[in-house]
Amino acid sequence: MPGLRPVIVRPECRMSKIVISLVWLLLLIPVNAVGGDVAIHAQQIIDNPDSSKTFLHPLVSLSDEDHRHHYGIRGGVPGACRLAGMDDFLRDYVHWSKDQAESVAVDKDGAVSEVSSGYYIESMTCIPKPKPLPVIIAKAVRDGGSGTVTVEMPFLHHGPSRFPIHSGHTGACQLLGYDNAVKYSLKFSEQRVSSVSLDAEGQIYSKATGNYITVMDCRDE
């Protein structure tokens, strides 16, 4: 919002203080409303490369005659994502508060429970329908001739996270839109880091520490 300076909210601040803060309310971004009575707001909405969206400090906004009240979400991530116009959520990217505050739960149809104290969601990542595949973004993709390409420094983007690729050459090529991996074309890093392994369709099936792919070739057939 033009003219507003970002406000840093310390993690130890209680949600009750956040709710009554005028500056916080000005920073809230309305996402979607149902019947004009219930809406999901967030301090920030991040569009991820794989079409998912990450909601930082999501709140449920409820109308009460002439007033609107904002509460943390203590449960019901699928329903909260549907209120936000999405279909489901990525379980690895739901982060919870360390303190408790007045909050509500949301059922799968978007109905909101009574207000009570509980731990609340600090961030959640929602996905559209159909469920999107991860996305690979590489430093460079060069034409190798004869229908092949050389891919340098491929990284997998899944929700708000970015991973090096430890294994799954075929799945990585599939995500890039190529039919096959070129055998014996792989080069790996000397450094061992946290990375992912992909199945043949490009989905993550494991995470581990290891050497990661720095160069790989793919081809169409």
Q: Which amino acid is at 107?
A: D
SS3 track for the chain: CCCCCCCCCCCCCCHHHHHHCHHHHHHCEEEEEECCCEEEEECEEEECCCCCEEEECCEEEEEECCEEEEEEEEECHHHHHHHCCCCEECHHHCEEEEEEEEEEEECCCCCECCCEEEEEEEEEEEECCCCCCCEEEEEEEEEEECCEEEEEEEEEEECCEEEEEEECHHHHHHHCCCCEECCCCCEEEEEEEEEEEECCCCCEEEEEEEEEEEEEEEECC
- pLDDT score at 109: 84
- pLDDT score at 158: 97
Q: Choose between 214 and 66: higher pLDDT.
A: 214
Mean pLDDT computed over 107-123 = 92
Q: Please report, for the chain, the start and end positions of each structural domain, with discontinuous segments joined by +.
A: 15-127, 135-219
- pLDDT score at 53: 98
> pLDDT digits over 130-173, tens only?
999 999 999 999 998 888 999 999 999 999 999 999 999 999 99
pLDDT exceeds 70 at position 1: no
Q: Which of 4-8, 107-111, 125-129, 152-156 has the lowest mean pLDDT?
A: 4-8
> pLDDT digits over 176-186, tens only?
999 999 999 99
pLDDT exceeds 90 at position 54: yes
Strands 180-181 and 204-219: antiparallel
pLDDT exceeds 50 at position 27: no
- pLDDT score at 68: 82
Confidence of residue 34 (pLDDT cuts 50, 70, 90): very low
> pLDDT digits over 65-89, tens only?
778 889 999 999 999 999 999 999 9
pLDDT exceeds 90 at position 116: yes
Average pLDDT, whole number, for the chain?
85
The CA distance from 147 to 184, in Å, is: 17
Confidence of residue 198 (pLDDT cuts 50, 70, 90): very high
